[in-house]
Structure formats: C-alpha cells, structure tokens
Amino acid sequence: MVGFSNTTPVEDDLYREIVLEHYSHPRHRGELETASSRVDATNPLCGDELSLAWRVEGGRISGIAFSGRGCSISMASASMLCEALDGQDMATAADIAARFRSMLLDKGPSDGLGDLEALRGVAAYPVRIKCAVLAWNALLQELAGTAETEP
C-alpha cells in the first residue's frame, strides 16, 4: 500500500516516525558519571541547550550520554548520535559524524548511516539544519581539540 492509497498518510518528510520516536523516548539521556570527555553546545538564537559526555576506553567509546533541552530535531539527533557512536572506535565515530554533516550540508550520500538517515529530510529546512548538527558540531569540535593536544 505504500504511496498508493491516500487514506494512509505519506510519512512526514521532516518528522519521520523514527525521529519522533527518538524525541519522545530518547536513548542515552542522562548523566555519565565516568565520562572522559564532556562538551556543551548552545544555539543562542533558538535557546537549544545540550551537554554531551562520553568515555573512551582502549580507543573506543565505551559509554555516551546527553542532556539538555531543545526542539525535536536537536533532541532526536543527539539521541541517535549516542546510539550510533556507542561502542565505535574513534576513527569510525569521526567518520560517521563527517558523513552525517555532509548528508545535511552538502546533500551527500547517507549509505550506512542507519537510523541517522531518517534526519535527511532536515536538509530541505535550512533553518533547522543547525538544530540537527548541534550535538555533532560539539562532538567534532571536542575531537579536533583533543587531536590537537594529543601527539
């Protein structure tokens, strides 16, 4: 019946089921007591506020959590970020982040991004892109900072 009957509403291009699901039941929400990295991000013009914390053990993210408040896109994106990066090694984490940003900012491919692909629709809403990348920018900034200070 997909795309066929007009009694079944076509899925919303921005507010996909899976996005709303992450928004109403966020994964990894809370504090991470044993974090090795922690970063805050705000979007002063919207009032979105977000904290992201993770723990690196043996070159892998062995725990990750977020807290804060904001719109559905920024919160779902943070929830998906945690789910996608938990357990990944640092190189893979950085690669996923780069591909996610590219999907939104350059309309790049989304292969292998899993659930994150559900946020592709945000690319058509320029003012909301900064909501979707808020957590990711914070992560990448922290990774870049760490990379610089470590040899």
Euclidean distance between CA atoms 4 and 22, whole angstroms: 27
CA–chain centroid gap for 96, Å, is: 10
Q: Tell me the residue type at 125.
A: Y
What does the angle CA 74 – CA 45 – CA 70 come to, to the nearest 5 degrees? 25
To another protein, the closest distance from the beta carbon of 53 in angstroms equals 21
Instruction: Give whichever of 94 and 125 is closer to another protein, judged by the CB atom.
Output: 125
Contact yes or no for 102/48 (Cβ under 8 A) = no
To another protein, the closest distance from the beta carbon of 72 in angstroms equals 5
Contact yes or no for 86/63 (Cβ under 8 A) = yes
DSSP 8: S
To another protein, the closest distance from the beta carbon of 92 in angstroms equals 31
To another protein, the closest distance from the beta carbon of 50 in angstroms equals 12
Q: Which residues pair with 67 in a beta bridge?
A: 51
Instruction: Give whichever of 76 and 140 is closer to another protein, judged by the CB atom.
Output: 76
Binding site for another protein (CB under 8 A): 12, 14-15, 20, 42, 44-49, 69-73, 125-128, 131
To another protein, the closest distance from the beta carbon of 24 in angstroms equals 8
**Residue 41: its H or E element:** strand 37-43
Instruction: Give whichever of 37 and 72 is closer to another protein, judged by the CB atom.
Output: 72
